[in-house]
């Protein structure tokens, strides 16, 4: 941090502070950058007698002035208080030691702060995002005389069960020669190598590097041709039947889960993060209730990871709850996505769950209002649409310079007020993502899990990944899925008719159609999140059960009246539910298969 005072506070509007830049000896204003971090230093000391330095980010620069948003409570900040510049943009530390951590929106480790200051977090703290005391065993993979470029691996350390690659700084502009490198056990801020540029200048490389959160990690590498984007060509398997079969999300793709309060967003995203076929999970709790976040923090370390060990061993949690400063909500999502991009650049498959982007957008609305910008719909900033699009565009698949492909899948939950999907945040998100899993309060009230409404949800990836499905699920798989989607729609039409006329007002064939759709819903679209078997369904089993269910629904025996129709489908549904609760290698599973086949003959 710069020790020199370069500006002073000239006005305070809640968390928006205007600073007046000072002039140097030649009468020139000290330079300042947009998105630069500055520190506001109230003259009076904090409640514990400490001199405070409140972190803030520059939002707008005018002649001799700048507007900054303060990430902490501005109580006690007064006109004339000194402001110091950091000299760098809002950034995070990237290196070994990120996994298993719980951070706030500015990458301050909450466990470390709590151990030092108790349960109430004081203002003005700046704690290292990565433990500078922990030592890591560094194994180089290059030698003196080798040439490296930005993003090239120069070695690795073992971070849990992951090989954490130590990469040349992403901002390195030219190819450089390794002039010195060492092997051994070091802290992250110890130089492990030096590179010599063509100009003759040398730079040291440590195991950590800082990167501005508002600049994608891959951006300079893509521009220099050191990485390239790949087209998503396979689904992200979640082991949730409704998603994998009907509304798939591509690995490296984007999806949103909007829904009203109590519709099951938290449970759904928890099981997606636990059972999805990914290497690393980053969860951003942005503006959600503190109780939910505490539940996540306490449960994840105790949950067993299907891949072995604890779920927290491969998880990073960024939390900025509704009880924490509003301004830091916006930063929290960018902090999470930057950490996700870092692991993607190593070649890992990363899942980022942002809960919720509505709170992030509301934070932008508050900031925009205090800056007196021209408002858009429902007072959200006019640039809401472009901000949402820019966020989701940071997802994707990237092939690095070592010809290894990593992916970043971004799933954002949206919390529209009153479940209104027509509000601006939901609509901006729908125009951006390629999979929409809309949660229904009505289905949640009926205890249907997941409460994703199949009649309003959609996924463009079903067509995009048709080649993958033909190879792994059969040539006619997507046709079968669309056929079952149409069955659900037709069954819903019959149900609406029956609500007016009763069962007597529909034909026998329509009554059969209604029960077919109900059986499909209850058997395949719903799962039991509390059952050890049904909670997670492998793709092979999904294929077997789906084909058997489709065949049973379409090739039913002759049914003479509505009573027979009801009895047949109730029995069929019961057999399939028992099948869902049976392990694939158990005698019960084989017995239920035979009973289902014999029933439909």
Single residue among 154, 175, 207 that ends a domain in this structure: 207
Domain membership of residue 411 (yes or no) is: yes
How far from 235 is each of 407, 458, 483, 535, CA to CA, in Å?
A: 11, 15, 20, 19
Claim to verify: residue 291 and residue 264 sit in the same structural domain: yes
Report pLDDT digits (tens) over 478-520.
999 999 999 999 999 999 999 999 998 999 999 999 999 999 9
Instruction: Please name which of 93, 126, 91, 104 lies closest in space to residue 332, comparing C-alpha atoms.
Output: 104
Claim to verify: residue 402 and residue 323 sit in the same structural domain: yes
How high is the pLDDT of residue 47? 54
Report pLDDT digits (tens) over 426-469.
999 999 999 999 999 899 988 899 999 999 999 999 999 999 99
The CATH number for 355's domain is: 3.40.50.300
Claim to verify: residue 267 and residue 407 sit in the same structural domain: yes
Claim to verify: residue 445 and residue 352 sit in the same structural domain: yes
Claim to verify: residue 253 and residue 316 sit in the same structural domain: yes
Residue 1's pLDDT band (boundaries 50, 70, 90)? very low
Claim to verify: residue 440 and residue 533 sit in the same structural domain: no
Domain membership of residue 151 (yes or no) is: yes
Report pLDDT digits (tens) over 248-278.
999 999 999 998 888 888 889 889 999 999 9
pTM of the complete model: 0.95
* Domain of residue 495, residue span: 476-599
| Cα 225 to Cα 246: distance, rounded to the nearest angstrom | 37
Claim to verify: residue 442 and residue 559 sit in the same structural domain: no
How high is the pLDDT of residue 46? 55
CB 265 within 8 A of CB 307: no
How high is the pLDDT of residue 45? 59
| Cα 460 to Cα 478: distance, rounded to the nearest angstrom | 12
Single residue among 175, 207, 239 that ends a domain in this structure: 207
Report pLDDT digits (tens) over 185-207.
999 999 999 999 998 999 999 99
Q: Cβ atoms within 10 A of the Cβ of 545, count?
A: 21
Single residue among 36, 70, 90 that ends a domain in this structure: 90
Residue indicated by tokens 């433990």 = 131
Claim to verify: residue 582 and residue 490 sit in the same structural domain: yes
Claim to verify: residue 85 and residue 181 sit in the same structural domain: no
Q: DSSP letter at 188? A: T
Claim to verify: residue 517 and residue 495 sit in the same structural domain: yes
Instruction: Please name which of 410, 473, 357 lies closest in space to residue 250, comparing C-alpha atoms.
Output: 410
Claim to verify: residue 422 and residue 568 sit in the same structural domain: no
| Cα 17 to Cα 66: distance, rounded to the nearest angstrom | 8
Q: What are residue 7's DSSP bridge partners?
A: 21, 83
The CATH number for 509's domain is: 1.10.1140.10
Domain membership of residue 495 (yes or no) is: yes
Domain membership of residue 301 (yes or no) is: yes
Domain membership of residue 439 (yes or no) is: yes
Domain membership of residue 25 (yes or no) is: yes
What's the domain count of the chain?
4
Report pLDDT digits (tens) over 30-63.
999 999 999 999 987 555 566 889 999 999 999 8
Claim to verify: residue 125 and residue 140 sit in the same structural domain: no
């Amino acid at each position: 941090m710069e020790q020199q005072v370069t500006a002073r506070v000239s006005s305070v509007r809640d968390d928006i502070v205007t600073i007046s830049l000072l002039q140097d000896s030649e009468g020139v204003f000290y330079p300042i950058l947009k998105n630069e971090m500055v520190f506001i230093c109230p003259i009076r000391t904090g409640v514990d007698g400490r001199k405070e330095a409140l972190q803030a980010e520059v939002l707008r620069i005018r002649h001799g002035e700048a507007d900054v948003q303060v990430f902490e409570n501005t109580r006690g900040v007064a006109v004339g208080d000194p402001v110091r510049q950091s000299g760098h943009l809002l950034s995070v530390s990237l290196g070994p030691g990120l996994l298993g951590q719980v951070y706030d929106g500015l990458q301050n480790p909450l466990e470390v702060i709590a151990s030092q200051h108790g349960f109430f977090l004081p203002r003005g703290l700046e704690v290292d995002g990565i433990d500078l005391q922990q030592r890591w065993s560094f194994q180089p993979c290059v030698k003196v005389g080798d040439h490296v470029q930005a993003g090239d691996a120069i070695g690795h350390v073992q971070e849990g069960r992951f090989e954490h690659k130590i990469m040349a700084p992403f901002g390195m502009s030219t190819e450089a020669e390794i002039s010195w490198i060492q092997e051994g056990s070091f802290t992250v801020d110890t130089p492990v190598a030096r590179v010599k540029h063509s100009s003759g200048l040398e730079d040291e490389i440590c195991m950590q590097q800082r990167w501005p959160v508002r600049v994608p990690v891959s951006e300079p590498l893509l521009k220099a041709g050191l990485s390239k984007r790949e087209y998503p060509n396979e689904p992200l398997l979640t082991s949730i039947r409704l998603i994998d079969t009907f509304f798939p999300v591509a690995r490296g793709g984007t999806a949103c889960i909007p829904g009203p309060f109590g519709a099951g967003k938290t449970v759904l995203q928890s099981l997606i993060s636990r059972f999805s076929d990914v290497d690393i999970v980053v969860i951003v709790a942005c503006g959600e209730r503190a109780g939910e976040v505490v539940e996540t923090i306490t449960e994840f370390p105790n949950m067993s990871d299907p891949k072995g060990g604890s779920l927290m061993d491969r998880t990073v949690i960024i939390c900025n709850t509704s009880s924490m400063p509003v301004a830091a909500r916006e930063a929290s999502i960018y902090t999470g996505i930057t950490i996700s991009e870092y692991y993607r650049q190593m070649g890992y498959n990363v899942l980022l769950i942002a809960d919720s982007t509505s709170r992030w957008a509301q934070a932008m609305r508050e900031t925009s209002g205090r800056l007196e910008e021209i408002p858009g719909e429902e007072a959200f900033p006019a640039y809401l649409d472009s901000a949402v699009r820019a966020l989701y565009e940071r997802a994707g698949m990237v092939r690095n310079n070592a010809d290894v492909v990593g992916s970043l899948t971004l799933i954002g939950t949206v919390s529209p007020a009153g479940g209104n999907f027509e509000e601006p945040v939901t609509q901006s998100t729908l125009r951006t993502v390629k999979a929409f899993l809309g949660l229904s309060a009505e289905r949640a009230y009926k205890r249907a899990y997941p409460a994703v409404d199949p009649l309003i949800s959609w996924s463009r990836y079903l067509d995009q990944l048709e080649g993958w499905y033909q190879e792994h699920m059969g040539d006619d798989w997507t046709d079968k899925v669309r056929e079952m989607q149409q069955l659900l729609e037709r069954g819903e039409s019959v149900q609406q008719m029956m609500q007016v006329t009763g069962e007597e007002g529909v034909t026998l064939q329509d009554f059969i159609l209604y029960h077919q759709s109900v059986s499909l819903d209850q058997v395949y679209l719903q799962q039991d999140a509390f059952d050890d078997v049904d909670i997670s369904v492998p793709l092979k089993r999904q294929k077997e059960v789906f084909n058997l269910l489709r065949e049973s629904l379409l090739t039913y025996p002759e049914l003479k009246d509505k009573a027979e129709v009801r009895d047949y489908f109730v029995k069929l549904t019961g057999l399939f539910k028992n099948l869902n609760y049976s392990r694939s290698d158990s005698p019960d599973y084989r017995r239920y298969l035979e009973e289902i086949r014999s029933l439909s003959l």
